Amino acid sequence: MTAANLQPALILIFGSEGGYSNDANDPGGPTKYGITLATLTAWRKASQTEADVKALTLTEAQTIIASEYANPIRFNDLPSGLDYAVLDFAVNSGPATAAKVLQKLVDATPDGILGVKTLAAIATQDVSRLVNGYCDARQAYVESLTNFSSFGKGWTTRIATVRQHAEDMIMGAVPTPIANEPTAKASPVNVKLLSSRTGLASVVTALGAFSMACTTVATQLSPLLIWHWGQYVTQAVTAAGAVAAALTTFARLRSGQGAV
């Protein structure tokens, strides 16, 4: 129940979303860092193009998610772990959908608005049990979608990953993307973490996080540009980030992750 969780949550979400993609089967269309063309258009209050989405910076994406996703789901007012789980669902499927699924679990009116009554109902719940129930409900939701056959594997793995990281947060840990995320069974009842941690979905998380880290480091190194050697260092970090972003897009498409 703290704003300090937002940055770790964003790192995890950007790791799952990866860089730019535009899958014909993905209803979100052109997307970067989880921000779709429609979302960017609404945010900037002006018509946007695919090129605008491609040029979206990580800094602006963070601002958009904090304003348009974290605020509506009352991120700072939710228990640690549940805050991240709801935000990840909101970025993938929309804040209203994420909120309604949570409200149904705590027997609150599913109006998509997390108000004082919903928060009071959440406060009576065991957080770990609620997170697991929420991930189960999210799994059931994605399995009901018509494009589950195209993106189901990626969604299922992502939900299992969210479940693991949320549990870590409940225990007080600050999780970071790992090289090999868990695989999962595509069943709302039997989704569970497996000891085997392989698959392209895990590559998306790792490469996405590395790309984001390179972007951040390159920005921090900008003062070194006054030195000749500093230019080479900054250029190398920027190039590494660009390569990671490209590989993220490729791995994301191969793993079947898309907007819900």
Question: What three-state secondary structure class fits 21?
Answer: strand
Locate the DSSP E strands across 28-173. 31-32, 35-36
Chain-centroid distance, C-alpha 106 = 23
Averaged over 149-156, what is the pLDDT? 90
Q: Worst-scoring range by mean pLDDT, 55-64, 136-145, 189-198?
A: 189-198
Give the percent of the chain with pLDDT over 70.
67
Whether residue 61 contacts residue 14, with contact meaning beta carbons closer than 8 Å, is answered with: yes
For the stretch 85-91, contacts whose Cβ atoms lie closer than 8 Å and that sit 24 or more positions apart, written own/partner, are 85/131, 85/134, 85/135, 85/162, 85/163, 85/166, 86/134, 87/9, 87/13, 88/9, 88/12, 88/13, 88/16, 88/158, 88/162, 89/134, 89/138, 89/162, 91/13, 91/17, 91/34, 91/65
Question: What three-state secondary structure class fits 20?
Answer: strand
pLDDT in tens, 165-185: 999 999 998 776 654 333 322
d(CA 161, CA 175): 11
For residue 173, the model assigns a pLDDT of: 85
Per-residue CA distances from 5 to 105, 129, 173, 207 (Å): 23, 20, 10, 22
Burial class (CB in 10 A: 0-12, 13-18, 19+), 157: buried
For residue 145, the model assigns a pLDDT of: 94
Whether residue 110 contacts residue 104, with contact meaning beta carbons closer than 8 Å, is answered with: yes
CA atoms within 13 A on the CB side of 35: 30
Whether residue 62 contacts residue 10, with contact meaning beta carbons closer than 8 Å, is answered with: yes
CA atoms within 13 A on the CB side of 98: 25
d(CA 59, CA 52): 14
For residue 175, the model assigns a pLDDT of: 73
For residue 190, the model assigns a pLDDT of: 26
pLDDT in tens, 27-84: 889 999 999 999 999 999 999 999 999 999 999 999 999 999 999 999 999 999 999 9
Domain coordinates in residue numbering, the chain: 3-255
Architecture of the 3-255 domain: Up-down Bundle (1.20)
In single-letter form, the type of residue at position 206 comes to A
For residue 51, the model assigns a pLDDT of: 97
Averaged over 101-111, what is the pLDDT? 97
pLDDT in tens, 208-245: 555 555 555 555 555 555 565 556 655 665 666 666 65
Using DSSP, how many helices (H) and how many strands (E) does the chain show? Answer: 11, 3
The pLDDT of residue 113 is above 70: yes
d(CA 134, CA 148): 19
The pLDDT of residue 192 is above 50: no
Average of per-residue pLDDT values in the chain: 79
The pLDDT of residue 118 is above 80: yes
The pLDDT of residue 193 is above 90: no
User: Whole-structure pTM over 0.75, yes or no?
Assistant: no
Q: Which one, of 151, 185, 145, lies nearest residue 255 by Cα?
A: 151
Give the percent of the chain with pLDDT over 90.
56
Whether residue 236 contacts residue 255, with contact meaning beta carbons closer than 8 Å, is answered with: no
Q: What is the band of 158 on the pLDDT scale with cuts at 50, 70, 90?
A: very high
